[in-house]
Amino acid sequence: MKKNDIYLICGIILLIACSFLLIRIFRSEGSRVLIMVDGKEHKEFDLNDNITYEILHDDGEFNVIEIRDGYVRMVEASCPDKLCVKHNKIHYNYESITCLPNRVYVRIVGGEESELDAVAE
Amino acid sequence: MKSKKIALYGLFIALAFIFSYIESLIPIPFPVPGIKLGLANLVVVVAMYGIGMKESFVLSMVRILLVGFTFRDPSTLLFSFAGGIFSWLMMAVFKKLRLFSMVGVSIIGGIAHNIGQIIVAVIYVSNTGIIYYLPFLMISGLVSGTLIGILAALVLKRLYKYLLNEK
């Protein structure tokens, strides 16, 4: 190992720490759940809904999404790796669960907007 | 000399192929797509330093093709190629620059692999939110890149005399 390698490692660790910090600072409460399939908008829910929703794909594949107490998680999926099912519950704005094999993308949206709406009402 | 090269190619591709298989048997406890040990990258790094740039590229591409059609879903080929090509490119550039040792080059390769995959994933799912995975993937790339770089240096020290004769 050269001295430069150590600098490289330190630089990368710093970069990772900064990106985590930035994500933490800029995170805000979400208000809606956006489900996208194949890059197109599929369905939208309110984050305060308590529901279980199943996406059935044309090729027989499926994903089951649960929204409960303001948190969203993938309860079941037909994909081989099940990474989406193991994913932590999401709640904050811009957090997302992706199921690449089934091309499903679940994302929390519209944090600030909802607060403005609440004020307007 | 030519037959030795062919034999080396076969040996390295077989090794990378087996490493990919072993890797597919090890469950990863993190729910982030793209996190991998990158064992096969060990073979690519060793080939890059021990045989040659061109050879390591061919090796990497052949491995991805074989693995994509056997242990993984062929639909993941796109991600693998993006990761593999970007990783090789960055490693080749930084190896030429001689800024870092094998460990540094391997770390760059590991992280570049993940960045390449993320870029394709962003285009594929057409959403930029996936970029939020990047910090996690960078940790994975850093850890596996460091370990693989150290391992590659140890392996090469022992294999040098067999590999370099070839030219």
Of the candidate ranges A3-12, B28-37, B74-83, B119-128, the one whose mean pLDDT is the lowest: B28-37
Distance, C-alpha B147 to centroid of its chain: 13
- Asked if this assembly's ipTM is beyond 0.90, the reply is no
Render B19-36 in DSSP notation, one character per residue: HHHHHHHSPP-S--TT--
For chain B, the structural domain boundaries read 2-166
Q: For residue A121, what pLDDT is reported?
A: 42
Residue range A65-111, pLDDT digits in tens: 999 988 999 999 998 878 889 888 898 887 888 888 888 889 888 75
How many residues does the structure list for chain A? 121
> Is the confidence at residue B19, as pLDDT, over 70?
yes
Q: For residue A117, what pLDDT is reported?
A: 47
Residue in A4, A83, A103 closest to B125 by CB: A103
Q: Which residues of A42-68 are buried (b: 16+ CB within 10 A; e: fewer)?
A: eeebebeeeeebebeeeeebebbbebe
Give the minimum alpha-carbon distance from A121 to chain B in angstroms, rounded to a whole number. Answer: 30
Q: For residue B56, what pLDDT is reported?
A: 94
For the purposes of burial, counting CB atoms within 10 Å of the CB of A4, is it exposed (0-12), middle (13-18) or buried (19 or more)? middle
- The arithmetic mean of pLDDT across residues B16-42, rounded, is 81
> Is the confidence at residue B137, as pLDDT, over 80?
yes
Question: Which amino acid is present at B69?
Answer: F
Cross-chain residue pair A36–B134, CB shorter than 8 Å: no
> Is the confidence at residue A116, as pLDDT, over 60?
no
Helices (H), B28-98: 39-50, 53-70, 77-97
The residue among B1 and A53 whose pLDDT is bigger is A53
Residue A78 near residue A62 (C-beta atoms within 8 A): yes
For the domain spanning B2-166, the CATH number is: 1.10.1760.20
> Is the confidence at residue A52, as pLDDT, over 70?
yes
Cross-chain residue pair B135–A88, CB shorter than 8 Å: no
Model-level pTM?
0.77
Nearest to residue A19, comparing CAs of B103, B108, B142? Answer: B142
CA atoms within 13 A on the CB side of A119: 4
